[in-house]
Chains A and B, each alone.
Chain A
Amino acid sequence: MAAPVFKGKFTAAAAERLLWRAGFGPRPGEAAALAKLGLRRAVRVLTRPGPEQLVGPAPVDDRGFPIAPFDATGHDHLWWLDRMVRTTAPLVERMTLNWHDWFATSLRGVGSQRLMLQQNELFRKYALGSFADLLHDVTVDGAMLHWLNGDKNAKNAPNENYARELMELFTLGADRAGGYTETDVREQARALTGWRSTRVQGTREYTFEYVPNRHDAGLKTVFGKSGDFAWQDSVRLCLQHPNHPSFFVTKLWSYFVPAAPPAATQSALEAIYRNGYQVRPVVEAILMHPLLYTGPRMVKPPTVYAAGMLRRLGRGIDTRAWVNLGLAAGQRLFLPPNVAGWNESRWLDTATFRGRWYLAATALGKAPASPPPNATAEQLVSRALGFWGRPPLGRASRDVLTRFAKHSLARGRSRGEVEASLRQLIATAPELQTA
């Protein structure tokens, strides 16, 4: 059974939702253009985008100098945010972000922006490719070896850190029927032994190598199978574990749709995935699923919210402020809270809401508002909504804005001030925090 496909009309509104879930929202006119393609072609445009181009002004710091993503603090965040804003392959960047969350690695433990950005390239390379290849490569990726102590895991000194998270967070899930045991954790740690990092003298960089005599070549028993397993076997055994496809599908699905997949969909997606561990066909099926279009809305992740505003405004990265604003809104890139990644359902509380308020204010900072001198409250609201591409604000919200504008004009506020304030309120309204 194939997964169901959305049969409703693929309107501009539907295309806009797709662009938010599979990217960073529409540029002006983009949703309408995508809608004309119909659902299948629209999804294929996203999943097979062709060579990526970066469109728009190149990123600079507050003084107008080019950013230094390997070296300057925070510029790693700016570098990636810029790519999200300017890319013509938004789903590739969105999947890269998803893998960053899935294999959450933090600069705080890795200590090298270069290693973090190298890992980021790995996630981009396999954005829609083979999960088997991704898992294989990320296991011995430098940042990951540092982060979960794979480079410290040796025959005479086994370190369980990577072994546990490999199963718990990356491939199988904790506490599931038929899952792994504490013995499996220890045995997997033995299989994963052998890697080492060496600091390049006089630099902050490291080289990583497999050292055979650090590897525990003895017999191990993992998931009831015995062998003289090495790290490649460790990865393979997880991929082949009967709990892996369901874990993979449920987790991948959760990045796109905030309601659990129906059982039939779940098994259809698992069947697609089992056929070669390819990510793209599973993502394509999710992006065409009726629930993506008819199901509940999702809170935009802070980075998606920020990049989306900049894409909409055609504004490039020109201030370091985005780094701390990302932190305040709950998502500083390359600094996930822990190895389980960001908690996608915790994006909105009183603290992160304030971060979003300033994300919007900063995105809006340079856009002038110059309404006609006799504009009415209604016209000011209409202009401010037009500024954001006429997002789907409900009647009640629009009435609040109109009352606000009337009240402000009555108190003698300037029309420019009122329109700028309306833009800020629209950007932070519940409808624009979600898609």
Chain B
Amino acid sequence: MTVADARRACSCSDFSRTDLFRRVAAQAGSGLPAIEPGMPTPAGTGLSRRSFLLRTAGVAVAVYGGGALSGRLLEDGIANAAVHGTGNGRVLVSVFLEGGIDSLNVLFPAFDGRYYDLRPQLALKQSDGTPFAEDPRLRWHPSAAALDTLHREGKVSVMPGIGYDHPDKSHFTSRHYWEVGATDAHVVTGWLGRFLDVTGSPDNPLQGLSLDNLLQPALATGRVPVASLDGPDRYAYVVPKLEAENDLLDALAELGRVNAKAKDPALRQAAAAAAQAHRLRSDLHAFDGGIKSPVAYPNASGNNADFPRRLQGLAAMLAQGLPLRAVALRAPGMFDTHSDQANELASDLKLAADSLLAFQRDLEARGLADRVLVHVWSEFGRRAKENGSLGTDHGAAGVGFLIGSRARGKMVGEFPGLQNLDEQGNLRPTSDFRGVYSALFEQWFDTDAAQVIPNASQFARPALLK
């Protein structure tokens, strides 16, 4: 795939992020058509055939055919991604540390005098945290103890200087680059979304799952459907005093189906959402009684509870055999620490790390750990020099992780160090996120990265798996 392929023709000016994402989103979810009128409908848009599901708990069985209202009455042609499996059965989970986490706090150069010069107020003490087993110059932030634990077990590959050349300091631009897998503001599908477009199925929204109230842009597809939900036990459509949920949802899906080929793009988008809601609900009946896990997850309150709860739900969905391939969610908190960094970062990082450890233990207990790899990323690192508000401004290279029983457990690129900052005082990258993406496709998914990442051949592939 070339950059030109990844772009879609668009006549309008592209400078506003809102504009840009408007188009990204127009592509997301179900091969949803772009907003501009006159654009061709991507292949696979909408439901080209009747697709309904038998509501056998936990086993999603798609039934294809024509006919009247209730899809559950249709019984010919069984195709079931949950039974036949998807791809090689492996799952990639993308976890976003939003705001640009300060890599110099997560793994800090405890014995470098420059660190204490640059960070007179924010530097951690030499005795804080624990040593990083692969590089004696570095220590883990105390809140990252759970990552240290997994690292010592050989289940974490640390990317201590991940980024790209000519780094962009805008949250939205840099995040967009990471989400689309290219340093190109005009690519409108996500890096995981394009993977699903190449290898996915036209009628399995769960193949790309955003565990969020909104679709994570990395999953934006051009052709196949993907799903978004808050948690597998939180997807009911029950309304008191109305007819049974199943009957209402069947009618809703039908309203979606008959509008799936409407001329108007917004109508088609609404129609696709209705049809996918029906399908997704059918897949999740097994969780109506709640989620039971073999391990405990961290306790958290308010919005912070979302992350451990969603990981817990994800492990349960995988154990249920649901046909997931790429999953995306946000870690708790906001790492855009322009001020009061020490407190904010410590609590958010701890909850994120502890939750990821619990998730790994959950997968191990359920015998799923060899099938799942977690990719943790942030849009950039932060300025080496603190800013005087007890915080740090936007930087360049940052830190990322690959976590899982199959992760190689060795650093990808080395710590760039403080002696050779770029002209703006930021860390220089020692690995490129597009190389990591390409390696993930090839080594984890057995898929040619050139089909998915623009100019994939230009990026070195680190060895990521054991």
Contacts and interface: CB of A to CB of B under 8 A. Distances in A.
A408 interface: yes
Interface string A386-403: 000000001011011101
Contacts of B266: 258, 296-299, 433-434
B343 interface: no
A404 B338 CA distance: 55
A164 B170 contact: yes
Interface of A: 108-109, 149, 152-154, 156-161, 164, 168-169, 173-176, 182, 185, 246-247, 250-251, 254, 258-260, 295-299, 327-328, 330, 337-341, 343-346, 348-355, 357-358, 361, 394, 396-397, 399-401, 403-404, 407-408, 413, 417-418, 420-421, 424-425, 428-431, 433-434
B215 interface: yes
Contacts of B387: 157-160
Interface of B: 11-13, 15-19, 21-26, 28-29, 35-37, 68-70, 98, 168-173, 185, 205, 210, 212-215, 227-230, 235, 237, 239, 241-243, 247-248, 251-252, 254-256, 258-259, 262, 264-274, 276-277, 280, 334, 338-339, 387-389, 391, 393-394, 424
A425 B256 contact: no
A404 B11 CA distance: 42
Most buried by B among A295, A340, A348, A429: A348
Contacts of A259: 12, 35-37
Given A247-B16, A430-B270, A431-B259, 9 more contacts: A174-B172, A296-B265, A346-B214, A350-B276, A351-B214, A394-B258, A418-B243, A424-B242, A431-B267
A349 B29 contact: yes
B243 A421 contact: yes
Contacts of A182: 169, 424
B389 A421 contact: no
Contacts of A157: 387-389
B37 A251 contact: no
B45 to A, nearest CB: 14
A296 B172 contact: no
Contact of B269 (A161, A185, A299): A299
B159 to A, nearest CB: 24
Nearest to A148: B338
Q: Which 8 A-B pairs have the closest CB atoms?
A: A157-B388, A260-B12, A430-B270, A345-B22, A152-B389, A345-B25, A396-B258, A173-B15
A254 B22 contact: yes
Nearest to B236: A354
Contact of A295 (B37, B256, B270): B37
Given A327-B213, A421-B242, A430 B262 contact: yes
Contacts of B170: 164, 168, 174-175
Given A399-B258, A417-B243, A430-B256, A330 B213 contact: yes
Contacts of B259: 394, 396-397, 429-431
Contacts of B25: 343, 345-346
A101 to B, nearest CB: 8
B214 A352 contact: yes
Contacts of A433: 266, 270, 273
Nearest to B250: A404
Contacts of B68: 403, 407
Contacts of A361: 239, 242
B169 A251 contact: no
B252 A425 contact: yes
26 contacts: A149-B391, A159-B388, A164-B394, A173-B15, A176-B15, A182-B169, A254-B22, A260-B11, A260-B13, A328-B230, A345-B35, A346-B214, A348-B269, A348-B270, A350-B229, A351-B230, A352-B273, A357-B277, A397-B258, A400-B251, A413-B243, A417-B243, A421-B247, A429-B274, A430-B256, A430-B262
Most buried by B among A299, A361, A400: A400
Given A296-B265, A354-B235, A400-B255, A408 B393 contact: no
B18 A343 contact: yes
Given A159-B338, A396-B259, A341 B18 contact: yes
